[in-house]
Amino acid sequence: MRRQAPRQRTAWSAVRWTLAAGIVALGLAVPAGAQERFRRTPPLPDAQRLELKLPPVETFVLANGLTVATARRPESSVVTLQLVIRAGEADSPPDRPGLAAMTARMIGKGTKMLSADYIEDMIESIGAEISVAVFMDYTVLTINVLDEFLDRAIYILRLITIEAEFNERELGAIRRTAFWELYEKKKDPEVLGWRQLLSVLFEGHPYRIATYSEDVIKFITPRDVATFYNRFYRPANAAVLVSGNIDGPAVAQKVGSHFGAWSGLPSDRTAPPPPSPNDRERVCYVEVPDSPAATVFAGNVIMGSSGPDFFPFLVLKQILGGTTRSRLFMNLRESKGYAIYAFSEMEVFGSCGVYWVRALVRPEFLVPAMREIAGEIGALAAGPSIPSEIEEAKSYLVGSLPMRFESPAGFADWMARYVALGLDKGQWDRGPEEVKLVNAERVRETARKFLSARPVVVIVGRPEWLGAYLGELDAIEVYDTAGQLKQTFRKGEGR
């Protein structure tokens, strides 16, 4: 239950007299000291909820296997052009973590004929820039451009993609930038916690490769980049997406004329099979001096996004910790006062996903907070959810969905994911209907299926909190900020 602060009227009474005087002076209809009845309760929503209508994604496949997808958004002044490669962090070789990201960042850094400086100037001369996002299973290069420069942007994208060449000078510059970015990220306890969680959940699995730190990228050579590029940057393994105020078929034709000459056999990539969920007690501790509070992650492997459990799990995740009204926040912060915040999240990859709890905990309450987190997860797995909780979670999911599509960037991100992972229509424009169909039984089944296994717990905090607050735990694996295991503490041993 939420703790309600007592309503004290000391300050209010003074304000009310002032307000009342103002009202009388204005001669308005409200008597002094009274309030209109409609203020007492929240208003009802408009009877008819407007439905989310997304523009259809038109998909074409060129003779060379390249997918071209377009979506028309007539109200948008900016067009988003994207190249999707169906290979991501998980495709970096085991001895070359970060290679997928470095390869993506090298696109646009030179061709057989043009220097990086020249290409950057070409791109920026049309008011655009290239951004790169590398996910577990796919990579996206994005160019946002005014619609009058779309043809030029398609030409540039073709040039830098098909004629890419990689040299040590540009790779050195990217290594330097990437090194400092990764170095800075290590200051963020949430990044460290997430990385450690993935590292443990995907031990021995290709997805673990995504948890690299800055020290490993110095080994990547132009030859590595070229090898990765030749293996995955092929038309049958790629898609070009265009969204904005466009004529879809005409744009698809233009893309075809530019990219039709791109040759290459299909790539041999297959999504890695999902690993088994963790089912043993495992607590990892990442030492970070000067942490103001303890960051706690607790999570496990779940299903991917294409199965029937996806939408029920969304509802489940929402009930557990989607907002400040959800179970975790109400328990750990509002009721017990152990945490500053506590939420739950989920992320889905090609063949599986991960759910996790993310909490900022007062260090002296680490152990009871961990118990409460485990208790909340266990309670969902063991028992039914309250119908009102389910309805509220569904209301949140349906209500918040349109926000994801509002900006050109948000829309394009969603479209890239949809195309890259080969998702069905349920993931495009039937989401609200799918959510509405989720009932208590489906939530219960999904909870039993995915929340019964014991989650891995990762704590990021100061070294001294280990001995001071965690002495009663049976075993704790202690890591440094690079993810290297330093030692394992067992109950009864000195910490």
Q: Which of residues 388-427 bind other proteins (CB under 8 A)?
A: 392, 395-403, 405-409
d(CA 60, CA 83): 14
Rounded Cα–Cα distance for residues 460 and 483 (Å): 11
Three-state secondary structure of 16-28: HHHHHHHHHHHCC
Please report how close the Cβ of residue 459 comes to other proteins at its closest, in angstroms.
Answer: 16
Nearer to other proteins, 26 or 63 (CB): 26
- Binding segment for other proteins among 44-52, 57-65, 201-209, 481-489 (CB under 8 A)? 44-52
Give the interface segment with other proteins, choosing from 9-17, 134-142, 156-164, 365-373 (CB under 8 A). 9-17
Of the candidates 331, 294, 299, the one whose C-alpha atom is nearest the C-alpha of residue 317 is 299
**Given candidates 1, 10, 113, 472, which one binds other proteins under the rule CB under 8 A?**
10
Report in angstroms how near the CB of residue 127 gets to other proteins at its nearest: 3
Rule CB under 8 A: choose which of 107, 238, 293, 346 binds other proteins.
293
- Show the tokens assigned to 450: 């995915």
Interface of this chain with other proteins, residues 205 to 224, rule: CB under 8 A: none
**Does residue 268 bind other proteins (CB under 8 A)?**
no
Residues 6+ apart with CB under 8 A from 479: 196, 284, 285, 286, 287, 485, 486
Among 33, 35, 279, 441, binds other proteins (CB under 8 A): 35
- What span, in angstroms and rounded, lies between the C-alpha atoms of 137 and 84? 11
d(CA 415, CA 126): 24
Residue with tokens 């607590």: 283
Question: Using CB under 8 A, which residues numbered 305 to 324 contact other proteins?
Answer: 323-324
Residues 6+ apart with CB under 8 A from 369: 296, 332, 336, 338, 339, 342, 359, 361, 362
Q: Which two tokens stand for residue 367?
A: 């152990």
| Least distance from other proteins to the Cβ atom of residue 340, Å | 8
Of 48, 63, 113, 494, which lies in the binding site for other proteins, with binding defined by CB under 8 A? 48
| CB of 50 or CB of 63, closer to other proteins | 50
Instruction: Give the C-alpha separation, 206 to 271, whole Å.
Output: 10
**Shortest Å distance, C-beta 369 to other proteins:** 17
| Cα angle 153-235-268, degrees, rounded to a multiple of 5 | 145
Stretch binding other proteins (CB under 8 A), from 24-32, 81-89, 234-242, 345-353: 24-32
C-alpha torsion angle, residues 414, 415, 417, 419 (rounded to 10): 160
173: left (phi over 0), alpha (psi -120 to 50) or beta: alpha
335 binds other proteins (CB under 8 A): no
The residues, ordered by sequence, that sit 6+ positions from 421 with a Cβ below 8 Å of its Cβ are 137, 138, 305, 306, 350
- Amino acid, res. 319: I
Judged by CB under 8 A, the stretch of 204-212, 219-227, 285-293, 342-350 that binds other proteins is: 285-293
Q: Which stretch binds other proteins (CB under 8 A): 41-49, 413-421, 443-451, 481-489?
A: 41-49
User: Residue for token digits 């557990």?
Assistant: 320
Stretch that binds other proteins, among 30-38, 85-93, 202-210, 257-265 (CB under 8 A): 30-38
The residue type found at 26 is L
Strand partners, 348: 353
* CB of 187 or CB of 486, closer to other proteins: 187
Which of the residues 242 through 261 are near other proteins (CB under 8 A)?
none
Closest to other proteins by CB, 270 or 388: 388
Alpha helices, DSSP H, located in 335-386: 366-382
Interaction between residue 191 and other proteins (CB under 8 A)? no
Contacting range for other proteins; rule: CB under 8 A; set: 18-26, 60-68, 196-204, 213-221: 18-26
Does residue 472 touch other proteins according to CB under 8 A? no
Q: Angle CA(199)–CA(346)–CA(289) in degrees, nearest 5? A: 50
Q: Does 26 bind other proteins (CB under 8 A)?
A: yes
- Residue placing its CB nearer to other proteins in the complex, 44 or 63: 44
Footprint on residues 145-164 left by other proteins (CB under 8 A): 145-146, 149
Residues 78-137 contacting other proteins, CB under 8 A: 78, 117, 120-121, 124-129
From candidates 41, 204, 270, 280, binder to other proteins by CB under 8 A: 41
